[in-house]
Each structure stands twice: as structure tokens, then as C-alpha cells.
Amino acid sequence: MMVKVVVNGIGTIGKRVAEAVKKQEDMELYGLSDVSAGQGLITLLSPEGELHGTDLYASNRKGLEQLQEDEMHVEGLLEDQMDEVDIVVDATPAGVDEMNKENLYEPHDVKAIFQGGAADDIAEVKFNADANYEKARGEDFVKVVSCNTTSLSRTINAVDEAFGVDEAVASLVRRAGDIPQDGRGPVNSTIPVTDVPSHHGPDVQAVMPDLEIKTLAVKVPVTYGHVHMVNAELEEDISEEDVLEAFENQPRVNLIEADEGFDSTGKVHEKMRDLGRKRADMQEAGVWKETVTVDDETVYWIHMVHQESIVVPENVDAIRSMFDMEDKETSIAKTNKSMGIT
């Protein structure tokens, strides 16, 4: 089966998902859709861009006028292509995605995937490939959870499947903005989320409903990555080696060694650049190996999250689940191989 995919909204997530879809042997990147010519869209469709030659559609009539004014070659309206495509990955801003669902996807009976910033009620299934891949089978609408929720689901689920987790507490140190979001700075403050738990705990429970978890969060003036400090109460006594083995067996967890010099998010960022990762992306959750500590039935660890890329492979796996194309292990392996996730 070859699934025809449109990516609507070519921003931080959308452009990465479009590139990932293009690499899949069982998917066709039918086209891109947007309402204006942002710098990312212009670059991707330029002769040097990775998506050069991909058809561009306008998400609505006002967007068609704007794209034409921006001197972009537009094939027409996305609405006119709804009978030709199988699914839309919607990476548009919160609120816009709801209008797209109501005005485009539902009337034309087209499946859609939404991102972590979307409203909770936009889709019944909140998706993480490792924790609940089967839940998306046959669904018309799925929400891929946020970058923070993705990392917590991956790491905690790895420990939960191996040993059983009774309760978890996570403290999140969140970046203030992505690298190109210069409108958010300069800043010189740490901003606490004064609601406890922060929304991340309930978001994880949407993926892992049997998990008892509390989260606290602050925002700090950095751009590359979030950092989470987690402690989990387990159902049995284990060793640190047991936990490390559980993380090593998780195909989207990367063990980082501070003793090798990678003792900050910036140095991990540089490592990804040296490895040739495009945009220095790290789609894995990066657990600092030295932080994994066991005290009786409690395990502690610290991990980092590259907020711009960690959810990208989840979108690809969600497509396969929604169309009942592969089992979890096969889909994750295919996606990882195509994207160079090791």
C-alpha cells in the first residue's frame, strides 16, 4: 500500500515531517500546503532544497492570493486535492488545525494527524509509537503528543514495560524558544508554571492511562532543548545496569555520556552536528547515562529533548498505524532506518 500524504503547515515540525515522509518506501509525499511563503518553505522548494519539485497548494483562498503575491508557484487549493490524498499531517498553529478539521478533512472524509499544540479534543487518540501504537489503528484523527510528552512516554514506558512503574515525578526545564524564534528574546528570566501538575502529566496519562505521574515545569532562556529530571517508583528492586539495559533496548532513546565530554545540551547539539545530523536534529530522547541511579525501588535519571525533531518519527509511525500497514516494531524500525536514527 502506498499512502498519499500532504503536509499542511511548513514550519518547524511540518518541514521535517515532509522530508521524513519523502524517505518512506510505502508513502508518497503528494504535496505541501501553506498560506504564505515563509523562509523554510522558500528554502525547501528552491532548486537546492530537499523538497524541490514537490507540488505546493494553498490551504485556503486567502493563502492562494498571498502565495501568488509571494511569487510562489502554486498548483491550486488544498481543498481541490482532498479526493486525491489519503491523509494530511496538519502542522498548522493551534486553532487553525481545528478549522481545517471542520472545513476540510471531515467533509472530504480524509484522515489527519495533529500536533502536540492542538486542543485535547481534536482527536480521541493521543499517540506515541512506543507506548500505544495499536490505539491508532483504523482511526481517522490522531494527535501526536508534544515533544515533552513524547520523551516522557518513551523513557517511562521503557522502564514500565521492563519492571513496572507505580508512580513517577518529573521536573521539566523548558527552552524559551526555538532557534529561529528570535521574537521571543532576548530574555533574562526563569518562568515557573504555577499550576501543579503542569499539563505534561495529564498529557502523558492520555498515552499511558494507568500511570500515576506528577510534573512540574519552568521555562528558561535557552533555545536548544528541554531537560527533564525524573524519578520513578518501581514495583521491584532492580540495579542501575537493569535500567540502562531497558533504555538501550528502546529504539528511540540515546544514552549520552557526560564523561566523554557531552555534559550539556550545547555539547550534545555539537555532537549531532559532527555526526552529520541534518539541522543537528536528535530525534531520540537523550538520557545522560551517569544520572541513572537506583535507590531501593526508586530510579532517577535526567534526559534532554530536542523539541524541534523528537516528534517527527512519531508522525510517520502514526500514518502506518492509522492505515493498519505494519506492526509497531516493523514500523519503528522502518522509520528509524530511513531517518538515520541509531
Catalytic residues: 147
> Are the beta carbons of 275 and 283 closer than 8 angstroms?
no
Alpha helices in the chain (DSSP H): 12-22, 39-45, 61-69, 96-100, 129-132, 147-163, 200-207, 240-248, 265-274, 312-322, 328-339
- Give the cell for residue 95: 486553532
Distance in angstroms (rounded) separating the CA atoms of residues 17 and 19: 5
Q: Taking a C-beta distance cutoff of 8 angstroms, is the pair 64, 77 a contact?
A: yes
Cβ atoms of 200 and 267 closer than 8 Å: no
Cβ neighbors of 250 (< 8 A, separation 6 or more) are 130, 154, 155, 157, 158
- CB neighbour list of residue 72: distance below 8 Å, 6 or more residues apart: 37, 41, 42, 45, 56
